């Protein structure tokens, strides 16, 4: 009996785990791209000469291994977001990588081949400063971690702590770096700003203080930015104020030696802070005596410390970037110099002599639509003739990684800016020339009947020619091997498909780089980098003109706003080709408070963008006479709102005929009690198919479809779990009337909101029950429709009926959005991004406030699901099956030409695109539709009809002769 029960349980488990898409559908309508983010640390795997790995630690708290041949991920570990998962240091020894994570909270060791965790230890509390490998007698066995008040030594084999010591005078001394030269001592170096340097030497064996000295340095404030250890333990610093090098022997001397740069014939570029770059190839040995000194943005020197004297080995000017690399016992210096405006050259030099190595020139062609080179990571290796070869990974300002080998062949490129997408839009692809010609028949006025006939014949000939060319291409490609058939998508061959399923995805990233991506394949078709973007900029992307207005090109406008100053700028471009528009956007000298797209169009079919500055003055783009005249005529019907969350103010304004503004309503939310978290309106491209719901008794409950309704979410400022709450206000954006107000007590955020049709769904955390909950609000006008033709916020005498219900959700969520279709006929689904990386498609019918607790005949007639407080997560609801989307931040939905199909893009650390069918594919034949069978049946019926007809005629003829 027990075996039977166990077998039954196994069958249930297996049945639950096989829910998935069919194998032949994987990757057919969807794709995923994985990223790591902007690289902070990078180390090539030098343990084996033929290794193909580069280990990276990024600012997105990602630790990963990339294939140096293809750029693809070998493995990836995504840590917690925020300071808790921040990678503070990355050290490499052999096949192990040691990480310090979370401001010195954790020390981890990873095995680099498969990305497995060797060990993890929790470090003592304290702010992290630095870490280094510690070796002795050519063997590295320890790692030292320097905190604000203590230094500890750990074994590399298991992470166990060997010793920990408090730092002397840590209240006044700012200890910033740690150093070990393989002589059995560990040095902690600190500074008292503009006073002196504190040096403490610890014994490797027991942590006993061997030496403690203080050296005057009134010019020094930051050791990590100004100093480096060179040669036999000599601390070398550079100061821009005194224009001098300072040297201190950590083993013997007690005062610093000053060497003016002028005595070496050197000069610092005005306004530039000099930088020192040294290298220590082996942690169990002293650093090299050679080091780089950067004196300007394009000026580097290779210097050597020889018996206390500084010797200039080579002067590199111009030189943008310089880096050291080691292979075996050879150390080389790689220097990148500008060749012209579009290319740079890299060369290898001997680190010991500064002599240029022959046949090491490499050309790096800069992308005119990308950023300048920012970092250089060099992979050096020994060739068969014992000469040094190298490959290089270049990181640019736009976070792009480019891997190059000699003589300049780009092996791969990774656009890591796409790991931080902030906003996006989908734009319809343009018509082909043939389609445009055919459309032109209906848009142009013909001279007469004969002219229209001739135009139709010419269009049909063009279509026939295109069809024959397509058939010939298919026949020609069929004769080639499959590997030689190219199906690359380019801008030139992009055109709208039959059902408008293929679109252009325009993505804006936090680094200021814009991308045009084909939604069908995920190929990047164009890219454009915007210079001088503020680090805290906010972006708003708007489509002013689509591809529907041929021959006018489509037009997008990107509003870039500095969050600190409020100053903004406009970037106008063509979303299909990525080229900057010839239209000059207006200058915006005043901070911008609000921007809104009006349904008005200029003579070129571009929608009007209205901008409101801090003086409440309005400017329009484009601002032609035609547009200004339309604005004056429609000024009385143009309303907008402003939100000031710091003061808890929500204000409504109206546009006057002289294009000034008038305050018409204001809602004040007391900031000492609660704060405004978000304000959510309805999407302007959303369509509602049905105005009401048919009840069980065949009556109609009409929806309250207010296009001006705003959902304002607030949170309490008191975070105590007994007094915290989440509130939601439904406010009419034209009149300021509060339609409904709801409060969930003993709850807190983060709150995620979806506002669509006549309903609002929001999710929050219940501190009382310690769980995530959904609340849904639906608004209805009642059994009678007040105005069936047009909705007016100024003419609404009756308040709507409000229904509300709450549900328990078994997981926290990252983001939420509703599906969108062309006509709004298809059922709505909520697309929920989970922290686990899954994208859940939850039918809106499960979040219906009319779900009855007790089932009645009428509720059965309406197909209402009986109320159950728990919402279960079904495996078949995941639209991305096993394609995990890490740290999903947003979900974008767009309609297609098929009413049953909604296009979905989920973006975060990864990007995932797919299609969803909330009401199944009711307007498309299935993939396994049996065309042969139905064709055979039709042909058989046709012949049977013809034969039956002939037999009937013969029968009638025979009957007539009788």
Q: What is the pLDDT of residues 724-779, one digit of tens each?
A: 999 999 999 999 899 999 999 999 989 999 999 999 999 999 999 899 999 999 99
| E strands present in 275-387 | 275-277, 290-296, 299-306, 309-316, 321-327, 330-338, 343-350, 362-365, 373-382
What proportion of the chain, given as a percentage, has pLDDT over 70? 94
Residue partners of 578: CB distance under 8 A and separation at least 6: 369, 514, 516, 525, 526, 527, 528
Strand order in the sheet with 661-668: 639-644, 649-655, 661-668
pTM (2 decimals)?
0.89
The residue among 604, 513, 510, 599 whose CA lies nearest residue 555 is: 604
> 3-class DSSP state for residue 254?
coil
Q: What angle do CA 248, 253, 254 make, to 5 degrees?
A: 90
pLDDT tens readout for residues 508-546? 999 999 999 999 999 999 999 998 888 888 999 999 999
For residue 615, give both structure tokens. Answer: 């003086």
The answer to whether the peptide bond before residue 395 is cis (omega within 30 degrees of 0) is no
Residue partners of 185: CB distance under 8 A and separation at least 6: 201, 202, 203, 204, 210
Question: Mind giving me the DSSP string for 749-796?
Answer: EEEEEEEETTEEEEEEEETTTTEEEEEEEEEEEESS-S-SS---TTS-
Per-residue confidence at 486, pLDDT binned at 50, 70, 90? low
Q: Evaluate whether 529 touches 373 at the Cβ level (below 8 Å).
A: no
Q: What is the pLDDT of residue 437?
A: 61
pLDDT tens readout for residues 97-133? 999 999 999 999 999 999 999 999 999 888 999 999 9
The highest-confidence range among 42-56, 187-201, 476-490, by mean pLDDT, is: 187-201
pLDDT tens readout for residues 603-661? 888 999 999 988 888 988 988 888 888 888 888 889 999 999 889 899 999 998 888 88
Neighbours of 603 (CB within 10 A): 11
Rounded to whole angstroms, the Cα distance separating 921 from 929 reads 13
Q: Is residue 20 pLDDT above 60, yes or no?
A: no
What average pLDDT does this structure show over 812-833?
93
Which of 165-174, 224-233, 468-477, 752-761 is the least confident region?
Answer: 468-477
Rounded to whole angstroms, the Cα distance separating 955 from 951 reads 6
Rounded to whole angstroms, the Cα distance separating 725 from 715 reads 6
Q: What is the pLDDT of residue 440?
A: 60
The residue among 784, 817, 810 whose CA lies nearest residue 894 is: 817
Rounded to whole angstroms, the Cα distance separating 516 from 529 reads 12
Q: Which helix (H) or strand (E) holds 876?
A: none
Rounded to whole angstroms, the Cα distance separating 399 from 402 reads 10
Strand order in the sheet with 911-916: 31-33, 911-916, 902-907, 890-895
Q: Is residue 160 pLDDT above 90, yes or no?
A: yes
What proportion of the chain, given as a percentage, has pLDDT over 90? 50
Per-residue confidence at 6, pLDDT binned at 50, 70, 90? very low
pLDDT tens readout for residues 315-342? 998 899 999 999 888 899 999 999 888 8
Rounded to whole angstroms, the Cα distance separating 147 from 178 reads 10
Rounded to whole angstroms, the Cα distance separating 821 from 826 reads 7
Q: Evaluate whether 739 touches 730 at the Cβ level (below 8 Å).
A: yes
Rounded to whole angstroms, the Cα distance separating 197 from 472 reads 79
The residue among 773, 761, 780 whose CA lies nearest residue 818 is: 761
CA gyration radius, the chain = 34
Q: What is the pLDDT of residue 241?
A: 86
For residue 813, give both structure tokens. Answer: 């969520």
Q: What length is written for the chain?
A: 962
The residue among 584, 582, 591 whose CA lies nearest residue 562 is: 591
Neighbours of 82 (CB within 10 A): 9
Rounded to whole angstroms, the Cα distance separating 85 from 83 reads 5
The residue among 261, 322, 314 whose CA lies nearest residue 297 is: 322
Alpha-carbon distances of 321 from 337, 372, 380, 415, rounded to whole Å: 7, 11, 17, 21
Q: Is 172 left (phi over 0), alpha (psi -120 to 50) or beta?
A: alpha
Q: Are strands 275-277 and 373-382 parallel, antiparallel or unpaired?
A: unpaired
The residue among 622, 620, 619 whose CA lies nearest residue 603 is: 622
- pLDDT, greater one: 441 or 270: 270
Rounded to whole angstroms, the Cα distance separating 691 from 631 reads 31
Per-residue confidence at 487, pLDDT binned at 50, 70, 90? low
Q: What is the pLDDT of residue 15?
A: 40
Q: What is the pLDDT of residue 4?
A: 44
Q: What is the pLDDT of residue 425?
A: 94
C-alpha torsion sign, points 486, 490, 493, 499: positive
The residue written with tokens 């956007």 in the block is: 585
Rounded to whole angstroms, the Cα distance separating 754 from 773 reads 14
The residue among 276, 265, 189 whose CA lies nearest residue 230 is: 276
Per-residue confidence at 784, pLDDT binned at 50, 70, 90? confident
For residue 336, give both structure tokens. Answer: 């990148």
What average pLDDT does this structure show over 441-449?
58
């Amino acid at each position: 009996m027990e075996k039977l029960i166990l077998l039954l349980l196994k069958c249930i488990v297996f049945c639950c785990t096989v829910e998935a898409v069919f194998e032949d559908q994987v990757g057919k309508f969807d794709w995923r791209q994985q990223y790591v983010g902007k690289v902070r640390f990078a180390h090539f795997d030098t343990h084996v000469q033929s290794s193909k790995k580069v280990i990276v630690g990024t600012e997105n708290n990602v630790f990963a291994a990339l294939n140096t041949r293809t750029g693809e991920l070998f493995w990836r570990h995504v840590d917690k977001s925020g300071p808790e998962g921040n990678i503070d240091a990355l050290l490499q020894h052999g096949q192990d990588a040691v990480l310090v994570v979370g401001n010195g909270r954790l020390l981890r060791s990873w095995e680099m081949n498969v990305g497995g965790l060797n060990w993890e230890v929790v470090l003592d509390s304290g702010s992290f400063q630095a870490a280094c490998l510690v070796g002795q007698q050519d063997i590295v066995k320890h790692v030292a971690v320097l905190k604000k008040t203590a230094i500890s030594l750990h074994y590399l084999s298991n992470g166990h702590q060997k010793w920990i010591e408090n730092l002397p005078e840590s209240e006044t001394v700012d200890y910033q770096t740690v150093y070990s030269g393989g002589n059995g001592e560990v040095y902690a170096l600190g500074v008292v700003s503009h006073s002196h340097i504190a040096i403490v030497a610890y014994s490797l064996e027991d942590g006993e203080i061997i030496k403690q000295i203080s050296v005057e340095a009134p010019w020094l404030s930051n050791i990590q930015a100004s100093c480096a250890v060179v040669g036999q333990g000599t601390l070398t610093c550079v100061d821009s104020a005194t224009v001098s090098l300072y040297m201190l022997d950590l083993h013997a001397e007690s005062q610093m030696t000053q060497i003016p740069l002028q005595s070496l014939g050197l000069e610092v570029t005005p306004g530039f802070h000099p930088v020192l770059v040294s290298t220590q190839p082996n942690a169990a040995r002293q650093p090299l005596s050679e080091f780089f000194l950067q004196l300007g943005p394009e000026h580097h020197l290779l210097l050597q410390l020889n018996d206390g004297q500084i010797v200039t080995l080579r002067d590199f000017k111009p030189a943008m970037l310089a880096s050291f690399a080691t292979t075996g016992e050879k150390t080389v210096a790689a220097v990148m110099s500008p060749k012209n405006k579009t290319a740079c050259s890299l060369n290898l030099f001997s680190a010991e002599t500064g002599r240029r190595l022959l046949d090491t020139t490499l050309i790096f062609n800069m992308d005119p639509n990308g950023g300048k080179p920012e970092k250089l990571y060099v992979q050096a290796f020994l060739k068969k003739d014992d000469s040094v070869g190298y490959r290089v990974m270049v990181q640019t300002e736009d976070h792009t990684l480019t891997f190059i080998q000699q003589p300049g062949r780009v092996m791969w490129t990774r656009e890591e800016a796409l790991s931080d997408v902030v906003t996006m839009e989908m734009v319809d692809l343009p018509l082909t020339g043939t389609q445009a010609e055919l459309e032109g028949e209906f848009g142009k006025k013909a001279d007469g009947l004969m002219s229209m006939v001739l135009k139709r014949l010419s269009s049909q000939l063009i279509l026939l020619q295109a069809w024959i060319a397509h058939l010939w291409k298919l026949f020609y490609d069929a004769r080639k091997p499959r590997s030689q058939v190219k199906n690359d998508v380019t801008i030139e061959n992009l055109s709208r498909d039959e059902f408008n399923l293929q679109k252009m995805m325009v993505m804006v990233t936090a680094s200021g780089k814009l991308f045009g991506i084909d939604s069908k394949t995920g190929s990047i078709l164009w890219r454009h980098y915007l210079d001088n973007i503020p680090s805290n900029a906010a972006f708003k992307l708007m489509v002013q003109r689509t591809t529907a207005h041929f021959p006018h090109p489509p037009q997008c406008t990107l509003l870039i706003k500095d969050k600190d100053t409020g100053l903004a700028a406009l970037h106008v471009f063509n979303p299909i080709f990525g080229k900057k528009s010839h239209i000059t956007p207006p200058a915006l000298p005043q901070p911008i408070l609000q921007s809104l797209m009006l349904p008005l169009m200029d003579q070129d079919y571009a929608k009007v963008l209205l901008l409101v500055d801090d003086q409440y003055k309005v400017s329009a783009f484009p601002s032609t006479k035609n547009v200004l005249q339309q604005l004056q005529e429609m000024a009385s019907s143009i309303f907008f709102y402003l939100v000031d969350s710091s003061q808890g103010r929500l204000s409504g304004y109206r546009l006057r005929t002289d294009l000034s503004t008038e305050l018409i309503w204001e809602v004040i939310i007391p900031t000492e009690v609660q704060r405004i978290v978000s304000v959510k309106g309805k999407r302007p491209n959303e369509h509602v198919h049905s105005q009401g719901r048919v009840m069980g008794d065949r009556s109609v409950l009409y929806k309250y479809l207010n296009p001006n309704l705003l959902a304002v979410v607030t949170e309490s400022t008191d975070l105590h779990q007994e007094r915290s709450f989440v509130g939601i206000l439904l406010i009419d954006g034209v009149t300021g009337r509060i339609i409904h107000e709801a409060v969930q007590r003993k709850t807190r955020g983060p709150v995620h909101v979806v506002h669509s049709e006549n309903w609002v769904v929001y999710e929050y955390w219940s501190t009382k029950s310690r769980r995530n909950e959904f609340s849904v609000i639906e608004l209805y006008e009642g059994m009678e429709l007040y105005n069936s033709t047009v909705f007016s916020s100024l003419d609404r005498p009756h308040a709507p009926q409000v229904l509300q219900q709450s549900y328990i959700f078994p997981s926290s969520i990252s983001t939420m959005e509703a599906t969108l279709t062309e006509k709004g006929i298809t059922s709505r689904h909520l697309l929920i991004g989970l922290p686990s990386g899954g994208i859940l498609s939850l039918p809106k019918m499960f979040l219906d406030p009319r779900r009855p607790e007790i089932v009645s005949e009428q509720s059965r007639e309406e197909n209402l699901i009986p109320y159950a407080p728990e919402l279960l997560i079904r495996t078949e609801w995941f639209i991305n099956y096993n394609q995990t989307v890490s740290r999903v931040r947003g979900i974008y939905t767009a309609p297609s030409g098929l009413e049953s199909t909604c296009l979905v893009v989920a973006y975060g650390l990864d990007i995932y695109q797919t299609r969803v069918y909330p009401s199944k594919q009711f307007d498309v034949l299935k993939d396994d539709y049996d065309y042969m069978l139905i064709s055979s049946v039709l042909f058989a019926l046709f012949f049977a009809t013809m034969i039956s007809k002939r037999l009937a005629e013969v029968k009638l003829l025979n009957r007539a002769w009788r």
